[in-house]
């Protein structure tokens, strides 16, 4: 999942100027990923959704998934994926509208530890997109 190592990732390239910071950032991201409650598919979908919100599209979504998410139609996704995607959709610009029942759905799907892992990941997916926009990745 280490999205820092994507090609063309402007922030990743710049972070190489701070090797110690990069090392600790990578270690932090790996710790998030190495949980036993939230699988890679959930992380990948949520990262792509947040990227789609910021950039207008994401290379990590199938066309049918991207269209469904743009329309707010989630029924092609599993219940766990839907719970995660609803919260992911809030993070970039609707974080104040995050509802208690939406977080409760994450706890039901992934347990408290999984919920914490996922929410932390969502925040840093958002950070990564914003940093890439700041450092030069073009918006579609």
Partner 1 sequence: MSTSPRVESAIPGQDANFGTVLSHTPDVMIKFGELYAEFWQQGLISQEIKEMTRIRNARITDCGY
> Which residues sit at the interface with partner 1, rule CB under 8 A?
18, 20-21, 24-25, 27-28, 30-32, 34-35, 95-96, 100, 103-104, 107, 112-113, 115-117, 120
Q: Of the two residues 79 and 99, which places its CB atom closer to partner 1 in the complex?
A: 99
Spatial CA neighbour of 7 closest among 132, 123, 139, 124: 132
Kind and range of the H or E element at 138?
Answer: none
**Cβ of residue 114: shortest distance to partner 1, in angstroms?**
9
**Cβ of residue 73: shortest distance to partner 1, in angstroms?**
26
**Exposure b/e, 81-103, CB count within 10 A at least 16 = b:** bebbbbbbbbbbeeeeeeeeeee
**Cβ of residue 32: shortest distance to partner 1, in angstroms?**
6
Q: Of the two residues 29 and 66, which places its CB atom closer to partner 1 in the complex?
A: 29
Distance CA 12, CA 79 (A): 33
């Amino acid at each position: 999942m280490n999205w820092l190592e994507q090609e063309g990732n402007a922030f990743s390239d710049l972070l190489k100027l701070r090797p110690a910071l990069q090392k600790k950032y990578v270690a932090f991201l790996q710790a998030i990923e190495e949980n036993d409650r939230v699988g890679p598919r959930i992380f990948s979908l949520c990262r792509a959704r947040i990227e789609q919100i910021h950039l207008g599209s994401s290379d990590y979504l199938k066309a049918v998934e991207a269209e469904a998410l743009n329309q707010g139609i989630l029924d092609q996704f599993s219940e766990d994926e839907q719970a995660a995607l609803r919260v992911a959709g809030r993070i970039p610009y609707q974080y104040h509208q995050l509802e208690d029942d939406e977080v409760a759905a994450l706890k039901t799907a992934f347990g408290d530890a999984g919920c914490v892992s996922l929410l932390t990941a969502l925040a840093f997916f958002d950070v990564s997109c914003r940093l890439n926009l700041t450092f030069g990745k073009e918006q579609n």
